[in-house]
Amino acid sequence: MKVYEQSGKDWKKVLEEILSANQLEENQVIYKTYEKKGGLFKGTTQVVKVVKLEDILEEVKEFLTELLKKMGLNVTFESRIREEQIYLKMFSDNNAILIGKNGQTLTALQLIVRQMISKEIGVLPYIILDVENYKDKKNANLERLAKRVAKEVYQTGIDTSLENMNSYERRIVHNALSEFKGVTTISEGEEPNRHVVIKKVN
**Domain residue limits, the chain:** 4-51, 54-133, 137-200
- Is the domain 54-133 a CATH 1.10.287.10 member? no
pTM, full prediction? 0.74
- According to DSSP, residue 178 is labeled T
Quickly count: other Cβ atoms within 10 Å of residue 41's Cβ. 5
User: What would the CATH number be for the domain defined by 137-200?
Assistant: 3.30.1370.50
pLDDT tens string 45-104: 999 999 999 999 999 999 999 999 998 999 999 999 988 889 999 999 899 999 998 888
pLDDT tens string 39-49: 656 678 999 99
Q: Please name the residue ranges forming H helices in 71-123.
A: 95-99, 104-121
Task: Please answer whether residues 97 and 55 qualify as being in contact, where contact means their C-beta atoms are separated by less than 8 angstroms.
Answer: no
- CA distance linking residue 150 with residue 86, whole number of Å: 30
pLDDT on residue 23: 95
Quickly count: other Cβ atoms within 10 Å of residue 92's Cβ. 18
Quickly count: other Cβ atoms within 10 Å of residue 153's Cβ. 23
Distances (CA, A) of 53 to 14, 81, 119, 152, 167: 19, 8, 15, 42, 22
Task: Please answer whether residues 37 and 50 qualify as being in contact, where contact means their C-beta atoms are separated by less than 8 angstroms.
Answer: no
Give DSSP secondary structure letters for 15-28.
HHHHHHHTT--GGG
